[in-house]
Structure formats: structure tokens, C-alpha cells
Chain A
Amino acid sequence: MTQSNRIAGGQIDRSQTFRFHFDGLPYLGHPGDTLASALLANGVRLMGRSFKYHRPRGPISAGSEEPNALVELRSGARQEPNTRATVAELFDGLTAQSQNRWPSLKFDALSINDRLNSFFTAGFYYKTFMWPASFWEKVYEPIIRRAAGLGSLTKLEDPDEYDKGFLHCDILIIGAGPAGLSAALTAGRSGARVILADEDFRMGGRLNAETFALGDQSGADWALAALAELASLPNVRLLNRTTVVGAFDHGIYGAVERVSDHLPVPLAGKPRQTFWRIYSKRAILAGGAIERPIAFENNDRPGIMLAGSLRAYANRWGVAVGDRTAVFTNNDDGLRTAVDLQAKGVDVVAVIDSRENSELLPGIRHLRGAEVTNSAGRLGLSQITVRMADGRTETLKVNALGVSGGWNPNVNITSHHRSRPVWREDIAAFVPGSGEIANLLVAGAAAGSLSTHGALVTGDEMARKALEGLGISAISAKLPKAEDAPVRIKAFWHVEGASRAWIDQQNDVTVKDIKLAHQENFTSVEHLKRYTTLGMATDQGKTGNVLGLAVMAELTGKSIPDTGTTVYRPPYTPVALGALAGRGRGHEFKPFRLTPSHKWAEEQGAVFVEVGYWLRTQWVAKAGETEWRQSVDREVLATRKSVGICDVTTLGKIDIQGTDAGAFLDKVYANTFSTLAVGKCRYGLMLREDGIVFDDGTTARMGPNEYVMTTTTANAVTVFRHLEYCRQVLWPDMDVQIISTTEAWAQFSVAGPNARNLLAKVVDQDISDAAFPYMGAGNITVGGLRARLFRISFSGELAFEIAVPTRYGDAMIRKLMEAGAEFDAVVYGTEALGVMRVEKGHVAGNELNGTSTALNMGLGKMVSRKKDSIGMLLSQRDGMTQADGLRLVGVKPANPAEALKAGSHFLKTGAAATAQNDEGWLTSLVYSPHLGHHIALGYLKNGASRIGEKMRAVNLLAGTDTEVEIVSPHFIDPEGERLRA
């Protein structure tokens, strides 16, 4: 429990000590540590196992590019798999477990795979496991699935909340290293709205990991000062712990802010993370660069890491990964690691430099023209083998090795629109091509300016360029003096003869695998990627892709850019799914729409059903009713016997006015409305342009230039959209104005023989049949309150629909029930509504299925051929007017005791249940308490002329086969005497 590898310095707060656990063992760390830095400080190098060979692994980086040190962070429902220890911020009481190993990290049974590696080559599984065919699902695949995967989910609901939001700025700056800070200072001082986002909890980027000075300050102190100034500017918003994960169209960027991940649990009411959609006029990518390794035999042992990261652990976190350290480099930056470590008193055994004539380092054993050819150490590095310039080999006892194969500008986000970066020979790396993403500028190391000076200068330059584009005059900062060392690199990718030399460490892709891919003609970069899984791991190949390309380039004899480029896809780093969902979970997945009678219905103990966003009363159980059918039957019978009330507010209501309103309706309805008399309503049928029925409903003429259209609940929005389309796009000169009034009016259906008697007690006007005949409509009053009355019926009974302003809807339902008491009035829900409409033979959702014509529904005559209307012409196509086409029919079981099932198909008696014999299906099925048996509507081939025919309704899913009789769809009152009563 001693921090054996902790050395002096660093940006950690040693005044506070955190206790944390990894694989059950306790350790100590400090604020400012990551899980990786704290474990390394405690002498722990082994943190994970690789995907395929289960090789022991430690961190190779100190950042989000980490492929190896993935752990399960936290426990219980908050356990999160595959968390990078290198970015997990330490907090007091943190617990983490290693993953993808059994039984333990030190002894992993599946490391047997490593011994069998010569069988498990790239794509081996495409070539075997094929016999016998049935064995794949039963035998091979289960084994593979168990072995595969990394961390695990608990299957428990995520207890944390997530927010989503929208931010707006003139300039979004991605990355708060020297380039990003320089850009932010210029943009901020110039008055632009700036957002500066950085994935780290401590802004400053490499300035926190390096020792060189900016002006007379340390880099880290300069960063602090710059951030302090930026924080003081009201037009600048600093977002640390915020990763910009994707570039989308027109300046929109996605970003994840880890609001609470550095805390044991989020504070009350606070989200764990917030997903921001950032709307920017300009963006500057200052994402820095990512170091890449050199491939050599067994280059994946814990203790071997990127040289810049080894340096970062020492400089930023005060951690010496090992006490005997070596560095393997092909460029000058690697030398910095040796210098810094030695300055901190770490024993630097040697610097192995692949270049023959680099500048000799004073006071360090600098082996030029040398290569590391192998390493040893079961669970961590204990020695390396070095081949000297003269060919001699020597083994060095070291427990830490820093490797630098050069730095890749972080082009990731610039390729999110699928454009390709370009190769720069002088730094042996890809840099962003120009202008792939509109209004995205790139500064600093991400643009290939790899010195601190270059970062500061290009940051300022890009900020000026962005400001110029926005018409804001720039006020630049005076930039401090900073190192401007040239990039001295001699490309060196992998050690000659290396075979099991790792390129993609997480997915265990080695030089050998790339050779095999080449041998089998998977040479295009996409084939290479897909066949070997190079770059498909959770790091998307941030450290390995270019290395893999280089090896393939050698094999094909092409240049690296001719071999291919690496294109990254969003997100930049993996994003918690919870963050992308935000609050839209559970009951908040979608908003609720509540009917005016909802409060009253709740008091009655109503059962509600989801209809789109609406909650509607499905039925209301009375005392003693245990089965839903009992309640529904009662509601139906009571309505047909006396009177029932139903909240029908959810039906769409559209107010249509203007001198052309009638002519307009003639265009959008298949039948005619311009001739409708004021004070009357009519059933209307609306087609799509392809001649299929779109929607139906009754539309009333309230005045010479004023109609009220009703739509189905389901289509209220799409019908309104369609009407706007017709009046703006198709007939732009018509004098028509429309507006939705669906929610403005609480509308109730009052149906049954006593409907009029009941309403007469509450409305102020005479509603006798003479004064208010069938299909009448008009404005009335209820105790002086403005209201609307329509004499329309969905149930087939004498019925009215009465509407009052919505705020009075609750009072209205109570009033109607009170006034109806003497008639034993009931409220009926959507189930009873459905029963009565089927009894009456009205089509609804199951018949209006988007593939049915008016002819199918038996409403063919409604389509007027005398006028042009939407869908009129195409509804006449041969295929849609065949005599033996589907027609709406009624269905009842030959034996009334037998039950039917909606979705059953019609078969002729004696016909086999095959598609060839399929005659149609039952669309809607209800039990009719009125008739005492099941009844249904259905679509049947040539159905209209088959009334009386006996056939079968077959439901193969339930194994039922029922004899049915085809009847008229109008089960009650076919002549409609009741509704005209």
C-alpha cells in the first residue's frame, strides 16, 4: 500500500490522499491522479488482458488513445465496462476490477490461446467450424462468444440520469493545449462567443506533461494563467472533462461532458454526463498529436509504453513506471523522455536510437543505429534484447521501456465527413487535407506543427482566420517564447524479422497477421482492416493504424499514402449510450397527452391505453367486475340501451377557413364538400396521391367560408401537414387558412337512445330532431358557455358530439354524468367504442392500413370522378380495381360459441393452409354483447358477392381453424334507423 513508484513533482495534490481498490486490493493515490497513474505509482503495471490471446497488458499511453488498460470501473448497477484507466479520474473510494480474464488477472486460463497462436491467425474462423452445419450455433459459436467480448454489463438498470442540451457559439475550439489556448485567447479577447472544450479534467494538454518553459513560466503555469484570463471573459465558456466526439453537417458538433464521473455518485438532481449538441459558426481543431509505437517481438508487455506517456507519468503525475528505464526511439522527441527521467533521478539504462547519426545525448548511454529486438518478463517487462549497430546483441535488465515511433497529428475529427488526410514525408505522418469539413480549421500538432512555438502561432493564426470569416476584428495575445525544436525523425516502423510484433494491441493484430492478409490478397486498406480487425478495437486504432499501413506498404512495395489512409468514424472516443439518450427513458421516453376527462377518469379507476402519445380511457371497471370483458360488455349494452359518454377529444380537429375553403376540400377529399349546406356535416374520405385511403372523418360546415374537419387520432398531424402542402405547394393561390384546434375543445360523444334527452338538460338550444337533424352541426351554448354540437354517430346509435373549451372539459364530463344519472348513463372507453363501431361496420385503424382502397372498404362510390382530387386518378389503376379484389365483409362464427382471432386468414372449406389458397384475413375482432358472440370485419377476395358463404378462419399461430359465415359488415341497424331517431 506504499506508493513505491511515486517520485517528486507533478500536478497532484499530495495534501490529500485517496484510498481506492483494484481487484480487491487497497491502494493510495492523490487528487489529480488517474486510475492508471495511481496504480503505476503503487508499482502496478499489469492492468488487463488482450482480446484474443489474453496476453498480460499494462497501459501504453496516458490518454484516451489507450488500447490496453481497460477495466470495469465501480460496482453494482454503476459498473461500467471497458473504462480506460488512463483517463479515469481518481476519487476517494474508487473500486475497479480487471476484465476479460478468468479466474484472475495474474492467472488467466484463456492465455492458452497465446500458446495456440499459430492456429488463431487472422481470419482463421472463416475457414473452419463449418461441419457439421448444426454445430455452429450449438458448439463452436457459444465457446467463441464466451471467450470474446471485453468487460461485462450487469443487466441492471443504469441508476444515473443523463442530460442533453444545445450550445451556440461563434467559434468552437477543440482541445486546450498550447494551440487551443492560444486560439481561445485571441478569439476571446476579440469578443467572439467562444467554447473551449477539452477531454481532460485539467486543461493544458501537453503543457502539463512537459518540462520546458513558455517565456519565464513553466508550461503548466502559463496554461493556468491563460485559463484564468479566459474564465474571466463572459463571452468564453470553458468545458473541461468534455470530449468533442463528432463533426456533423453545417457546423454542428457532438460533445460529451463528464459532469460527475470524478465523483463517487452524482450529486442530487445532477446528471452523470451531459451530451451537448454544439452549433458553431467556425471550429478550430487543436487536438494535438498521438504518439505511435515501433513494432518489435513481444513489444506488448506491461512496462513498455509510449515514450511521451512515460514522460507524462513522471512530469505530470510524479510517477516513475520503473526504476530501470530504457527508451527506444526513431526521433528526437523520444530523447526528451530520457533527459526528463534522468533529471528526475530515474536510472536511464540506455537510449536505443534507430538512427545512426542523431545528435549524441550527453551523460546517457545513447546507442545509435540500434534496435530493440525482443523483450522478456512474464507479467511485466524485466529485460529487453538490443541489436547494436554492429550487429552485436545485448540484453538489458529494465522494467520500463519508452517507445517512440513518431507522432501522428490527431486528424480523427477531420475525417468524420469521410475525406482523407494527406501524407507529410518530413514528419512521416498524415496531416489533415484542406477544407474537408466546412468552417473547420486545424491548429497546432493536429495540423502537423509539432513544436510548442508552432502550436501557439498556428492557434493564433487560425483564430484570426476564423474571426475574419465572422467579420470580427482580431485582438491577438502576445505569444510567449517557446521551444521550436525541429522534428528529427527517420521513419522506422518495425524491427526486421519481427513476427509476433503487436500493431493493434487490443485486438492482437501482429505483423504476422498483416503478412497473411497480404498473402491472401486482402491488400486494400478496407480489406486489411476487416480481415485482420486492425483498428476495429475500442481505440479505433489511434496508435496502430498508421503502423499497420506502413507494414502493408512494405509488403506491396507501394508508398504509405498509395497503400491507403486511415479514416476515423465518429465518435472520437466511445460514448455512454445513456448520454445519447438523455432523459428520454422510462416514462419520459415520450411525452404524455392527457384528455380533458383524464382527471375524472382517474378518480373512477379507469384503465388507460396508449394511443400515440395520448392516454385514453380503455374501460372503467365497476365494483365486482374482475374480467375486462365484463366492463366492456356493460358499457356497450348500457350505451345501446340508454346512453353512454366517451371522450373523443383525441380526434384531430382542423379549422379550415377562406373563400376557397369548399373548393379546397373538394381537392383533398375524394368526395364533394363545396355543396355541403351550412350547419351540416358529412363523412369524408381522404386519399393519398397513389389512390390508397389516407384518412377519414366527418367535416362540418360552420359557415359559408368556414369548415371544421375531423381526422383520425393517429393521422391528426400528417393530415394537417398534407393540407399545408396542398395549400402552399399545389394550389398556392387558393384563399384557405388552416389551424389545428384539436386541443382547444374538449369533445364528448353522447350516444344511445337517451342521448338527446340527456343533452337537452345541459344545452341551451332546442336539439329536437327537427331543430337538429341527423348530420346537423352548429355553435350552441351550455349554460351560456360557447360550445359546438355535431349530430354524428360512430356507434350507430342516436348520437351527438358536444365540444366545450378544454378547461371546462373536466366539469363537462361531471355535468354529463350527473345529468345522465336518471338514464343510468355510463362512460365507455376505447374498447366499447371499438365493439360498437365493428357492430356498425365502420372502418378504423385496422382497416385503414395504408394499403386499402375505397373500393376495398366498400366505399368505392365515394370517389368522385367528376372532379380532380388527390389520388382520384391513380385509384383507377387496373391492379386496384379488379373485381375479385379484397372487399370488406362481416364475419361471424358458424357456431356462436366459438371464438375468433383477429389476424386469422380466410380459407375455403377443405383448402390446405397455403399462400396459394389464402383468401384474405380478419382485420378487427370483437365480442358483441348485443349479439352474444364474436363478430369481425375482414378483407376477403371478391367479398361483396360472397355474403352467406361458409368458410374457415385459420390461425396457425394458435392452431385454430374455425368455420365462419361471411355476412354484411353492418351487424346492427343496417338501415340506420337508430341514428336518425
Chain B
Amino acid sequence: MIINHPILGPRDAQEFVYLGDASLIHRPDGLTASIEAFHDYTYLRANPAGLHRELWYHEQGDRSWLVVTRNTVTHEITSVELARDVARSEGRSK
């Protein structure tokens, strides 16, 4: 597969390490969240057959974590963003 890196352009997916569902961005706070909430965050997945937002790490490249939107049936990739930008835009900070 080819991932169109937002900074570096098309790169072989072999340079990347896959993590999974980009919902992992929304980590609850361990001091306030319930174990149930943390369980859902850590263990449950929508696992769609179709568009899937997922985290890839450009380990053999520029070390950026990316949010890739990919169709899990056709493998077509429709958007690639820097995970840091996505995380900030979705409210993550410190």
C-alpha cells in the first residue's frame, strides 16, 4: 500500500507501523474516569467494513503519527493527516 504522507507525499506503507482505530486519541483521564469507561476505550472497536480512521506511525520515515482514513474493504485511502493536528483539533493538549 501507499500512504500519501501530508508532508512527504506518497510513501510505501512498509515504512509505517500500524496501531489501529483513531478513537484511541480520546484517552480518558485515569484519575477521573471509571474502569468501565477505560475498558470501553481500551478494548471495544467499531471495526467498520468501510471507512476507517486509523493511526499509523512513520517509523522508518519522519516519525510522524498519522491519522489515515482508509476503506477496509477496498483499501482505498481518502485522507491522511498528522495525528498531532487531529488530536489538537479534537481537544487534546497536555
B32-48 interface bits toward A, Cβ cutoff 8 Å, 1 = contact, 0 = none:
01010011001000000
State whether the Cβ of A810 lies closer than 8 Å to any Cβ in chain B: no
CA of A694 to CA of B28, assembled, Å: 20
Partner of A733, one of B27, B39, B65, B94: B94
**A279–B2 CB distance below 8 A:** yes
**A732–B87 CB distance below 8 A:** yes
**A728–B64 CB distance below 8 A:** yes
CA of A263 to CA of B74, assembled, Å: 42
The minimal Cβ–Cβ distance linking A382 to chain B, given in whole angstroms, is 54
**B57–A725 CB distance below 8 A:** yes
Partner of B87, one of A660, A721, A730: A730
B79-94 interface bits toward A, Cβ cutoff 8 Å, 1 = contact, 0 = none:
0001110011000111
Chain B residues within 8 Å of A874, by CB: 35, 38-39, 42
B1-39 interface bits toward A, Cβ cutoff 8 Å, 1 = contact, 0 = none:
110000000001000010100001101011101010011
Q: Interface segment, A17-25, A220-228, A420-428, A865-873?
A: A865-873
Residue of A nearest to B42 (CB): A689
State whether the Cβ of B68 lies closer than 8 Å to any Cβ in chain A: no
Q: With a 10 A CB-CB cut-off, give which of B24, B64, B65 has the most chain A CB atoms.
A: B65
CA of A867 to CA of B31, assembled, Å: 7
Chain A residues within 8 Å of B12, by CB: 279
Partner of B75, one of A250, A663, A732: A250
Chain A residues within 8 Å of B87, by CB: 728-730, 732
The minimal Cβ–Cβ distance linking B52 to chain A, given in whole angstroms, is 15
CA of A219 to CA of B87, assembled, Å: 62
* Given A251-B2, A874-B42: A724 touches B63 (CB 8 Å cut-off): yes
Chain A residues within 8 Å of B83, by CB: 728-729
CA of A248 to CA of B29, assembled, Å: 41
Chain A positions 858-882 with a Cβ under 8 Å from a chain B Cβ: 867-869, 872-874, 876-877
Chain B residues within 8 Å of A873, by CB: 30, 33, 35, 38
Q: With a 10 A CB-CB cut-off, give which of B1, B30, B38 has the most chain A CB atoms.
A: B30
Tally chain B residues at the interface, Cβ within 8 Å: 34
Q: Contact residue range for chain A?
A: 20 to 34
CA of A806 to CA of B22, assembled, Å: 39
State whether the Cβ of A833 lies closer than 8 Å to any Cβ in chain B: no
* Given A251-B2, A724-B57: A438 touches B76 (CB 8 Å cut-off): yes
CA of A732 to CA of B88, assembled, Å: 7
A700-721 interface bits toward B, Cβ cutoff 8 Å, 1 = contact, 0 = none:
0000000000000000010001
CA of A721 to CA of B83, assembled, Å: 14
* Given A250-B2, A660-B94, A721-B17: A872 touches B30 (CB 8 Å cut-off): yes
**B24–A249 CB distance below 8 A:** no
**A724–B65 CB distance below 8 A:** yes
Q: How many A-B residue pairs have CB under 8 A?
A: 78
**A733–B93 CB distance below 8 A:** yes
**A725–B19 CB distance below 8 A:** yes
A415-450 interface bits toward B, Cβ cutoff 8 Å, 1 = contact, 0 = none:
001000000000000000000001000000000000
Chain B residues within 8 Å of A689, by CB: 27, 42
A877-910 interface bits toward B, Cβ cutoff 8 Å, 1 = contact, 0 = none:
1000000000000000000000000000000000
CA of A729 to CA of B25, assembled, Å: 6
CA of A40 to CA of B12, assembled, Å: 47
The minimal Cβ–Cβ distance linking A861 to chain B, given in whole angstroms, is 18
CA of A724 to CA of B75, assembled, Å: 26
The minimal Cβ–Cβ distance linking B68 to chain A, given in whole angstroms, is 12
Residue of B nearest to A690 (CB): B42
CA of A732 to CA of B65, assembled, Å: 11
**A731–B92 CB distance below 8 A:** yes
CA of A249 to CA of B10, assembled, Å: 13
State whether the Cβ of A567 lies closer than 8 Å to any Cβ in chain B: no
State whether the Cβ of A767 lies closer than 8 Å to any Cβ in chain B: no
Residue of B nearest to A867 (CB): B31
* Given A250-B2, A438-B76: A732 touches B93 (CB 8 Å cut-off): yes
**B55–A729 CB distance below 8 A:** yes
The minimal Cβ–Cβ distance linking A865 to chain B, given in whole angstroms, is 9
Residue of A nearest to B32 (CB): A868
The minimal Cβ–Cβ distance linking B74 to chain A, given in whole angstroms, is 8
* Given A251-B2, A728-B83: A721 touches B59 (CB 8 Å cut-off): yes
CA of A867 to CA of B32, assembled, Å: 10
**A732–B92 CB distance below 8 A:** yes
CA of A315 to CA of B38, assembled, Å: 74
CA of A947 to CA of B27, assembled, Å: 40
CA of A733 to CA of B89, assembled, Å: 11
CA of A731 to CA of B33, assembled, Å: 17
* Given A728-B87, A729-B55: A663 touches B2 (CB 8 Å cut-off): no
CA of A660 to CA of B84, assembled, Å: 17
CA of A201 to CA of B87, assembled, Å: 54
Residue of B nearest to A688 (CB): B42
Chain A residues within 8 Å of B19, by CB: 725
State whether the Cβ of A252 lies closer than 8 Å to any Cβ in chain B: yes
**B30–A869 CB distance below 8 A:** yes
CA of A690 to CA of B42, assembled, Å: 7
CA of A248 to CA of B31, assembled, Å: 46
CA of A731 to CA of B42, assembled, Å: 17
Chain A residues within 8 Å of B84, by CB: 728-729, 732
CA of A731 to CA of B27, assembled, Å: 10
Q: With a 10 A CB-CB cut-off, give which of A279, A417, A725 has the most chain B CB atoms.
A: A725
CA of A731 to CA of B26, assembled, Å: 11
CA of A325 to CA of B82, assembled, Å: 69
**B57–A252 CB distance below 8 A:** no
CA of A624 to CA of B78, assembled, Å: 68
**B65–A725 CB distance below 8 A:** yes
Residue of A nearest to B27 (CB): A730
Chain A residues within 8 Å of B24, by CB: 729
Chain B residues within 8 Å of A717, by CB: 59
**B75–A730 CB distance below 8 A:** no
CA of A867 to CA of B30, assembled, Å: 8
Residue of A nearest to B29 (CB): A868
Chain B residues within 8 Å of A279, by CB: 2, 12
The minimal Cβ–Cβ distance linking A689 to chain B, given in whole angstroms, is 6
Residue of A nearest to B34 (CB): A873
CA of A586 to CA of B54, assembled, Å: 37
**B65–A729 CB distance below 8 A:** yes
Partner of B31, one of A724, A725, A733, A868: A868
State whether the Cβ of A364 lies closer than 8 Å to any Cβ in chain B: no
CA of A725 to CA of B64, assembled, Å: 9
Given A690-B42, A724-B65, output 5 extra A-B contacts at Cβ < 8 Å: A252-B1, A438-B76, A721-B57, A728-B64, A729-B87
Binding site for B on A (CB under 8 A): 248-252, 279, 417, 438, 660, 663, 689-690, 717, 721, 724-725, 728-734, 867-869, 872-874, 876-877
Kindly list the 9 A-B residue pairs having the minimum CB-CB distance in the complex, ordered from nearest.
Answer: A868-B30, A250-B2, A873-B30, A733-B93, A732-B84, A249-B1, A728-B65, A728-B84, A732-B87
- Can you give 29 contacting A-B residue pairs, CB < 8 Å? A248-B1, A249-B2, A249-B75, A250-B75, A252-B1, A417-B74, A663-B94, A721-B59, A724-B57, A724-B65, A725-B55, A725-B57, A728-B82, A729-B83, A729-B92, A730-B25, A730-B87, A731-B93, A731-B94, A732-B87, A732-B88, A732-B93, A733-B92, A734-B94, A867-B31, A868-B30, A874-B38, A874-B42, A877-B35
